[in-house]
């Protein structure tokens, strides 16, 4: 079953991501050395970190911050291209 990160606050998400990154780095080292019981744990950790990154990116504090600035960078780039096409 997937870990549920939905109930964590923004700061807890950042802390959890850092913990998993350290664990992933240590696991990679142990794989090279050859002392790993479950090599599939590397894939699971990588996916958990990606899931956390997605939740951090979509969190209200991050989304609200970019909304306060006007729009997202992707939308700004798209509108800039549209302006160039009209000229």
Q: What is the pTM of this model?
A: 0.66
**Total domains present in the chain:** 1
Domain-embedded: residue 32: yes
Give the per-residue pLDDT at 1: 37
Residue 62's pLDDT band, with cuts at 50, 70 and 90, is confident
Domain-embedded: residue 5: no
Q: Which domain does 34 fall in, by range?
A: 10-86
Give the per-residue pLDDT at 80: 60
HEC letters along the chain: CCCCCCCCCHHHHHHHHHHHHHHHHHHHHHHHHCCCCCCCHHHHHHHHHHHHHHHHHCCHHHHHHHHHCCCCHHHHHHHHHHHHHHC
Domain-embedded: residue 69: yes
Domain-embedded: residue 55: yes
Q: Is 56 exposed, middle or buried (0-12, 13-18, 19+ CB in 10 A)?
A: middle
Please provide the average confidence, as pLDDT, over all residues in the chain. 81
Domain-embedded: residue 3: no
Higher-confidence position of 64 and 79: 64
Residue 83 has pLDDT above 90, yes or no: no
Mean pLDDT is lowest, of 47-51, 70-74, 76-80, for 70-74
Cα 10 from Cα 56, distance rounded (Å): 7
């Amino acid at each position: 079953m997937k870990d549920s990160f939905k109930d964590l606050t923004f700061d807890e998400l950042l802390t959890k991501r850092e913990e998993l990154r350290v664990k992933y780095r240590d696991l990679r080292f142990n794989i090279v050395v050859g002392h790993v019981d479950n090599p599939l744990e590397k894939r699971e950790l990588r996916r958990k970190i990606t899931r956390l990154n997605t939740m951090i990116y979509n969190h209200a504090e991050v989304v609200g911050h970019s909304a306060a600035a006007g729009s997202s960078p992707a939308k700004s780039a798209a509108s800039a291209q549209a302006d160039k096409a009209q000229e």
